[in-house]
Homo-oligomer: A and B are copies of this chain.
Amino acid sequence: MTEPRPQRPPTQRPPTLRDVARLAEVDSSVVSRVLRGASGANVRPETRERIEQVARDLGYSPNPLARGLRTQRTNCLALVVPQLDNPVFQQIAQGAERAAAARGFALVTYHVRDAAQERERLEHLVRSIRVDGVVIATLMMAGDAHQFFERLGLPCVLVNREAPGVPNFVSVDDEAGAHLATTHLLRLGHRRIAHIAGPHGRYNAIRRREGYERALREAGIEPETRLVAAAEYSFEGGRDAMATLLNADMTAIFATTLLSGIGALRTLDVAGRRVPDDVSVIALHDAPLAEMVTPPLTTVRFPTEDMGAEAVDAVIDHIDGLQRHLERRLPPTGLVERGSCAPSRG
């Protein structure tokens, strides 16, 4: 009356390697080799077939936890992003996923919406899931986040962001983009060009403003502080900044970001200023959104998807032991003319 192993209650436990091994009448190590398509897997064809058959019948799928524990590798990457309401991140994510898939990695996205909770959220991430590397897209404290992961020994690169002391990033050439946008307005004959800038002190905000000012100077125009308004990188930011610019004497706006450009559009409409008849507007970063507003917004396109893809490639290279440091700024890929810019009537 010895109780026969109460080991396997009728609960539907997923099949393991050993289940397959048992039914195929081989050792589990053989199953492992076969199912993994291991390199030197010298296995008799009939054995292989038997194993594969059983595995299929059982619906076997390796347990990623066990495998990861053993191999110290998960083939999984995390993309850390702030909230996704900004199309730039969607594009980054798209490129990142493409690149990850191409190299056999899964990529999961993890949101850290609030700079204040950043630390806590990241801890929660790393103690819930094991990834081989991380791509960090713009956080307030991107440098801190980078350090956080580095300390854990996790390869990690910044995307769309640069931070002091972090030699792993891929971003865009903000200065060149801003220069291109401003130059476009200048070519249309505009001379009094206002700038809806980014938040004070933000790295890429500074570089964009520099590009704007360089373009003006090259055209013999001295930049004026009162034509510049700082704004968050958001619709509301652009909308409010535009309001402060309404009385300025200008015929065109260069908005530092798609969202703030759209905010500007809205304020101009409310104020009864016609775009592009009264005011031309151009913004940095292209996205489907630019097509949806009235009038459709002329933009400078950046290779945002490529940015995500390059970041992922760099992280995977790191993981593979190629200690590739990466400091990359991708130039703009062109101007997308839509309906929001017209020649100056000046």
Contacts and interface: CB of A to CB of B under 8 A. Distances in A.
A8 B303 CA distance: 44
B75 A65 contact: no
A84 B90 contact: yes
A68 interface: yes
A40 interface: no
Contacts of A151: 59
A28 interface: no
A106 B93 contact: no
Contacts of A105: 128
Given A61-B152, A294-B294, A288 B235 contact: yes
Contacts of A62: 127
A149 interface: no
A23 interface: no
Contact of A262 (B75, B110, B292, B295): B292
Given A78-B108, A109-B111, A94 B83 contact: yes
Contacts of A161: none
Interface string A264-307: 01100100000000000000000011011111100000000000
B61 A65 contact: no
Given A76-B128, A76-B129, A262-B292, A90 B83 contact: yes
A206 interface: no
A162 B75 CA distance: 33
Nearest to A268: B294
Given A69-B63, A84-B93, A110-B108, A269 B291 contact: no
A195 B61 CA distance: 47
Contact of A106 (B90, B125, B292, B295): B125
A57 interface: no
Contact of A128 (B97, B106, B292, B295): B106
Contact of A266 (B69, B106, B292): B292
A151 to B, nearest CB: 7
Contacts of A111: 93, 97, 109
21 contacts: A14-B152, A59-B151, A61-B127, A62-B127, A65-B68, A65-B74, A65-B130, A76-B129, A84-B93, A85-B288, A106-B125, A106-B128, A106-B129, A109-B110, A235-B292, A262-B292, A265-B294, A266-B296, A269-B295, A289-B289, A294-B294
Interface of A: 12, 14, 59, 61-66, 68-69, 74-76, 78, 83-85, 87, 90, 93-94, 97, 101, 105-106, 108-111, 113, 123-130, 151-153, 235, 262-263, 265-266, 269, 288-289, 291-296
Q: Which 9 A-B pairs have the closest CB atoms?
A: A106-B128, A108-B108, A294-B294, A109-B109, A65-B69, A76-B128, A65-B68, A65-B130, A269-B294
